[in-house]
Amino acid sequence: MSGGVSAAGPDLDEVVELTRDLVRIDTSNPPGRETPAARHLLAYMEEAGAECELAGPDPERLNLIARVRGSGEGPSLMLMGHTDVVPAPREGWSVDPFEGVIRDGRIYGRGVADMKGELAARAVAVARLARSGRIPAGDVVLVAESDEERNVSDAGMPWLVREREDLRCDYALNEGGGELLRLPGGRSVVTIGIGEKLVSSARVRVRGAGGHASIPAGADNPLRGAAEITRRLLDHEMPVRVVPGVARALESLGAPDPAGDEFAAWAAAQHQLLGGLLPAMVRSTVTPTGLEAGEPPNVIPLHADVICDCRLLPGSTEQDLRDLVAEAVGDDVAYELELLEPLAGGTESPTDTPLFEACAAFARERIPGVEILPFISPGFSDSYWVRREWDTVAYGFAPVFSTDPVTYHEGFHAADECIDTADLVTMTDLAEHAIAALVG
């Protein structure tokens, strides 16, 4: 691996340098081309003594699998991380996004937060286990998967869960949690992702008669209905439904009734991030994100489409989505609704497990008095695939105890993505702690 980190100790050096190496391999998706990153991890893990391979249907988008085999006397643990990143247009960046610049104890670059830094931390933890020669009670498997950001190529985790049943593990750690949030009154919470919403996109189509735009009077212009549907969807508040894990979290926080008028304001008063996260955890959302008609400017179109991002709570169905839209729009505007992609997601893992307790114990040891906040992610991660296909208990947890959480989140998919190097060490420590707690 490359050098260049100041004398800050071997723990910092190893995980930061592996992170920088991965950042310098441009795996922007599209097009992805994650194989060079997988090969770099292969060389690193093989040197440590792990059992390694590259796998996948696309030679340019291979996945890295590294395993330390256990005795079979205990549960198995998978540590997950995707190698692809979203594109990084140079506008707005104060550094080269693919250089891994370190400045004032912080590393900047595309993927340092989402999620090459987290992946590097897990790789270091598994490499140390392999170097130790210790035989764990169960298998420890590192998977560095491709195509998480777009999930359209069938080259990453969807392919692995279908074709590689031998990789199935009882437990998994992935992205989507671990932020330390300081609340009013001296309280602190650390998030842990226990599930995700169902995700899809939909087209709401309004039909008209069409005509020449130079004679608009009396024309049946479908944009009128599309605009009204857009307004109603934006203004409508979807009904509240609280899943069990979230119910316990809200109770521990002392939250008011999620269906009450004061809930959103209360959440925002607790923390800037909770102002958006908590309301999204208790309601499904159908958000207009585009209007399409597809005709030249001088033509009143035959139809107009409202394109919507759809995020439904676990347990929801396509019919639930249709019912939500019908409730929001009413029956005085005719429309047709079509899903542009199947609903995916909506899985949830229980919180009464050894891995959940290991994550909670780690947080409480590092931050005395901290409370644990399980949450349902409004986004999507590859945890869905292992929960659905293998019934794996999967959590999103990578401790971010040093980086300001707002700064950390603002860098996701944006310019100057960054993370404190201290957090990379903490993530490594957590992965080692989880390995020791579950498989010895």
Cβ atoms of 56 and 89 closer than 8 Å: no
User: Residues 157, 168: contact at Cβ < 8 Å?
Assistant: no
Residue 4 lies in a domain: no
Strands 188-196 and 371-377: parallel
Give which of 146, 144, 142, 117 is closest to 34, Cα–Cα.
146
Instruction: Establish whether 84 is a catalytic residue.
Output: yes
Which range of residues forms the domain containing residue 244? 195-345
The answer on 213 and 151 residing in a single domain is no
Percent helix, percent strand, percent coil in the chain, to nearest 5: 35, 25, 40
Helix (H, G, I), strand (E, B) or coil at 22: helix
Q: Could you write out the DSSP letters of every residue in 191-243?
A: EEEEEE-EEEEEEEEEE---EETT--TT---HHHHHHHHHHHHHH--PPB---
Cβ–Cβ under 8 Å, residues 144 and 152: no
pLDDT of residue 277: 92
Task: Check which CATH number belongs to the domain holding 398 and give it.
Answer: 3.40.630.10
| Ranges of residues in the chain whose predicted pLDDT is under 70 | 1-10
Q: Determine the 3-state secondary structure of 107 from DSSP.
A: strand
Residue 178 and residue 41 share a domain: yes
What is the distance between the alpha carbons of residues 369 and 35, in angstroms, rounded to a whole number? 43
10 Å CB burial of residue 214 (0-12, 13-18, 19+) is exposed
Q: What's the pLDDT at 379? A: 84
Q: Is 148 an annotated catalytic residue?
A: yes
* 3 falls within a domain: no
Assign 113 to helix, strand or coil: coil
First and final C-alpha spacing in the chain: 29
Q: Is 5 among the domain residues?
A: no
Amino acid residing at 267: A
Q: Mark whether 214 and 313 lie in a shared domain.
A: yes
CA separation for the pair 59, 251 (Å, rounded): 49
Residues 285 and 226 in one domain: yes
Q: Which of 17, 84, 147, 179 is labelled catalytic?
A: 84
Q: Each residue of 171-213: pLDDT tens digit?
A: 999 999 999 999 999 999 999 999 999 999 999 999 999 899 9
Count the domains in the chain.
2
Q: Does 295 lie in the same domain as 249?
A: yes
Residue 4 has a pLDDT of: 35
Q: Residue 312 maps to which CATH number?
A: 3.30.70.360
pLDDT for the residue numbered 432:
97
Q: Write the DSSP symbol of residue 400.
A: B
Of the listed 148, 175, 348, 432, which one is catalytic? 148
Please, what is the Cα angle at 377 between 97 and 426, to 5 degrees?
55
Confidence at residue 2, expressed as pLDDT on a 0 to 100 scale: 36
- Please enumerate in sequence order all residues whose Cβ is within 8 A of that of 235, keeping only pairs 6 or more positions apart, or say none: none
Q: Is residue 190 part of a domain?
A: no
Give the pLDDT confidence score for residue 249 in this predicted structure.
83
